[in-house]
Structure 1
Amino acid sequence: MKIPFHSSERASLGVEWELQLVDRGTRELTAGAVEVLAAITPEGLDEHPKAKHELLQSTVEVITGICSTVAEAKADLAGTVAEVAAAADARGLDLMCAGSHPFTRWRSQEVSPKERYVQLMERMQWMARRMQIFGVHVHVGVRSGDKAFPIVNALTQYIPHFLALSASSPYWSGCDTGLASARTKVFEGLPTAGLPYQLADWPAFEEYMETLITAGAIESVREVWWDIRPHPDFGTVELRICDGLPTLDEIGVVAAMAQCLVEKLDQEIDRGYTLPTPVGWVLRENKWRATRHGLDADIVVDDKGTVRPVRQAIADLAEELAPFARKLGCEAELADVERVLAGGASYQRQRAVAAAHGGDLRPVVDSLVAEMRSGLPRRA
């Protein structure tokens, strides 16, 4: 089975941001995407070019065009979000983003009226019905499928870095899960989600996809929802590990890290280096540690079991990527890593708000709505 990889301009960038629609009175996650999207879709088009349905009618996915810099991607998102926010406001709805809603129960949600989502629900049943989760996906362009899989394999060692920075789903249906990212464990319930298979090259990927399709496990490559995956149609490596992020500032951080890392690994291939493929047990352990402890995790850094704080690993990575950030024009966005480390990831900020209000989770929703409007909080 041949799967064409449509080459992209090196280090080009695209971002997908899944937004929650919440009722201004109850603060509950609320269906409204059909009306909001209809209101902003240009006349003569079937759908808005940069705002789409997702699985639930309480979600609007905002996507960028093909961008060259992180600043361009942020500006692209901001323009579309402003359109969505105005239409939502007219219907008594606010926008926010986090990996999960703090207290809305998944049974209350309506599925979007698109055939692919109806079919997904039929096939996956309970596993799909629980998918009241939200993420940020970052695409970085590469020029060939031959590079895509070595880069995917090498990027997996940074899964705990991205997950710890973006973790924003400590609550599920009104309960504190004790996790930094409950979304991660919910999403892993789908049979083709989670850590990517470590495949040697593009032909091995084509063979594996053909096997899955022949076996009836999937109908197309689009149904493989790995944490990091190649996207043949876009010609990108796609990082899907991040929880939904409340602010454009935090999106800038993870987009800058992703763009710089892919550029770094791409250069290493050009210089004849063989990119590392991390040990499987280390990947699973580190993903769990970031899921459970977020920025307080100690991650495994070799196959001997040596550990170090993920905070330090993130800070060191940002320093290592600084020359690539200068080249790609994302120095400011990469530098915002320090703001997240100092002020806390979203899961920490949410818990602080809940603690300040005696465990009431409605103010947590208010804080997430405010962050989307105002940006990453600055420390006093």
Structure 2
Amino acid sequence: MAITFAESARSTVGVEWEVMLADPRTGELVGRAPELLSELEAASQHSRHTVTGELLTNTIEVTSGVGATVSQAIDDVAQAIREVRAATDPIGVELLSAGSHPFAQWYQQDVSEHSRYHTMIDRTQWWGRNMMIWGIHVHIGVEDRRKVIPLVNALSTYLPHLQALAASSPFWAGERTGYASNRALVFQQLPTAGLPWTLESWADFENYLDDMVTAGIVADATEIRWDIRPAPRWGTIEVRACDGLSTLPELASIAALVQVLVEHLSRRLDAGETLQPLQPWYHRENKWRAARYGLDATVIVDRRGTQHPVAEHIRMLVADLASVATDLGCDQEFRGIADIVRDGASYQRQLAVAAEDGDLRRVVAHLINEFRSGPHSAVRSAP
């Protein structure tokens, strides 16, 4: 099966952000996206950004246009959020983002009226109905499809770093899970989700997709829901491993880190280097450790099995790749990565709020406040 990889300018950026709709008084999710979307979609029709629905009616997704820089893509997202607020504020609906809602129950949520979603639910049943998860997706343009699979393989080494920084789902259906990112382990229950297969070339990806379509497992490449995947329609690599970011500055920082990593690895390919991915069993272990321990995880960083505390390794990356961030014009956003490590990720801030009196409604109020005002309450609290 020949798969066309669209033309895309190198290291351009696109960002998608899944946002929850909630009642500010109770903290409960509200399924009001359908009544809002027709107006919001029409308003964004001629804009760089888009506003669309998602699997559940309690969710709206905002998507940037193609950004030459991270700041351009984030400006698109900020404008989209302003338009969403103009529709939600008058009807008393608040916005928040995290990998999971602290206490919502799956059986109280409605699935959007879209055949694609109902087909997925029909196939996956209980696990599909439990997909009360929210994430961000970062697209980075790749100018040559021959680079795509080597970049996916090499970038997978850094998925636990991204997952730990973005971890924001320590609660599930009213319970503390003991995980920084419960979403990471829930999402991989879908049959085509989870870590990518280690392939050798674009031809291998075409053969893989041909097998999947022939067997009736998927209809097209969009149904491959790997943590990082080729996005042929856009000419990008798409990183999907991260929980929903709770604030816009954190979203910008994660987008910058992904952009910098892809550009750094692309330069190594340009120099004739062969990028060696980690063994698949190391990738699997790293994903679990990042989901369990977040920024307190120790991860495997090379094929020899060398291990580093992920926070320490992130600091090393920020120092080593600062010049790449300068070249890409995302210095400010990239420096925000060090702030997350120093001040704590969303899961840590949520746990700190819950530790005060155990009231998860206060955690929702905290997330609503952070979504409006940015990260605060610097803490270091183990999961």
Q: CA deviation at 1:177?
A: 0.4
- Judged with a 3 Å threshold, the aligned counterparts in structure 2 of structure 1 residues 273 and 284 are, in CA distance, closer, same or farther, namely same
What secondary structure does 1:125 align onto? helix
**8 Å Cα contact 2:99-2:169 kept in structure 1:** yes
* 2:63 aligned partner: 63
What whole-Å deviation, never above 9, does each CA across 1:78-116 have from its counterpart, x for those lacking one?
000011122112222100000000001011110111121
* 2:252 aligned partner: 252
Q: CA deviation at 1:42?
A: 2.5
> Any unmatched runs of 5+ in structure 1?
none
Structure 1 counterpart of 2:154, which letter? A
What secondary structure does 1:42 align onto? helix
The reply on whether 1:146 has 2:146 as its aligned counterpart is: yes
* 2:188 aligned partner: 188
Question: Structure 2: how far apart are the matches of 1:378 and 1:109?
Answer: 31
**8 Å Cα contact 1:37-1:48 kept in structure 2:** no
Q: How does 1:351-366 map to 2 (within 5 A)?
A: 351-356=351-356, 358-366=357-365
* 1:261 aligned partner: 261
Which deviates the most, 108-117 or 295-304? 295-304
Question: Structure 1: how far apart are the matches of 2:365 and 2:321?
Answer: 35
Structure 1 counterpart of 2:368, which letter? V
* 2:236 aligned partner: 236
**8 Å Cα contact 1:260-1:324 kept in structure 2:** yes
Structure 1 counterpart of 2:341, which letter? L
* 2:23 aligned partner: 23
Structure 1 counterpart of 2:365, which letter? D
Question: Structure 2: how far apart are the matches of 1:46 and 1:13?
Answer: 19
Which deviates the most, 273-282 or 48-57? 48-57
Structure 2 counterpart of 1:218, which letter? V
Q: CA deviation at 1:131?
A: 0.6
Q: CA deviation at 1:46?
A: 12
C-alpha RMSD of matched pairs (Å) = 1.7
What secondary structure does 2:42 align onto? coil
- Judged with a 3 Å threshold, the aligned counterparts in structure 2 of structure 1 residues 344 and 196 are, in CA distance, closer, same or farther, namely same
- Judged with a 3 Å threshold, the aligned counterparts in structure 2 of structure 1 residues 304 and 48 are, in CA distance, closer, same or farther, namely closer
Structure 1 counterpart of 2:19, which letter? L
**8 Å Cα contact 1:131-1:186 kept in structure 2:** yes
Structure 2 counterpart of 1:156, which letter? S
Question: Structure 2: how far apart are the matches of 1:373 and 1:44?
Answer: 21
Q: How does 1:1-380 map to 2 (within 5 A)?
A: 1-42=1-42, 50-356=50-356, 358-377=357-376, 379=378
Question: Structure 2: how far apart are the matches of 1:174 and 1:44?
Answer: 36
Q: CA deviation at 1:326?
A: 0.3
What whole-Å deviation, never above 9, does each CA across 1:144-181 have from its counterpart, x for those lacking one?
22110000000000011000000000000000000000
Q: CA deviation at 1:27?
A: 0.7
Q: CA deviation at 1:301?
A: 2.5
**8 Å Cα contact 2:318-2:338 kept in structure 1:** no
What secondary structure does 1:315 align onto? helix
Question: Structure 2: how far apart are the matches of 1:75 and 1:45?
Answer: 17
Question: Structure 2: how far apart are the matches of 1:354 and 1:332?
Answer: 31
Q: CA deviation at 1:10?
A: 0.3
- Judged with a 3 Å threshold, the aligned counterparts in structure 2 of structure 1 residues 225 and 231 are, in CA distance, closer, same or farther, namely same
- Judged with a 3 Å threshold, the aligned counterparts in structure 2 of structure 1 residues 234 and 44 are, in CA distance, closer, same or farther, namely closer
What secondary structure does 1:242 align onto? coil
Structure 1 counterpart of 2:361, which letter? R
- Judged with a 3 Å threshold, the aligned counterparts in structure 2 of structure 1 residues 184 and 286 are, in CA distance, closer, same or farther, namely same
**8 Å Cα contact 1:339-1:378 kept in structure 2:** no
What secondary structure does 1:160 align onto? helix
Structure 2 counterpart of 1:177, which letter? T
| Aligned residue-pair number | 379
- Judged with a 3 Å threshold, the aligned counterparts in structure 2 of structure 1 residues 22 and 43 are, in CA distance, closer, same or farther, namely closer
> Any unmatched runs of 5+ in structure 2?
none
TM-score, normalization by structure 1 = 0.97
Which deviates the most, 303-312 or 213-222? 303-312
**8 Å Cα contact 2:103-2:360 kept in structure 1:** yes
**8 Å Cα contact 1:51-1:80 kept in structure 2:** yes
**8 Å Cα contact 1:180-1:292 kept in structure 2:** yes
**8 Å Cα contact 1:6-1:144 kept in structure 2:** no
Q: CA deviation at 1:24?
A: 1.8
Structure 1 counterpart of 2:367, which letter? L
Q: CA deviation at 1:297?
A: 0.5
Q: CA deviation at 1:125?
A: 1.4
**8 Å Cα contact 2:21-2:96 kept in structure 1:** yes
Q: CA deviation at 1:74?
A: 1.3
Q: CA deviation at 1:48?
A: 10
Structure 2 counterpart of 1:291, which letter? A
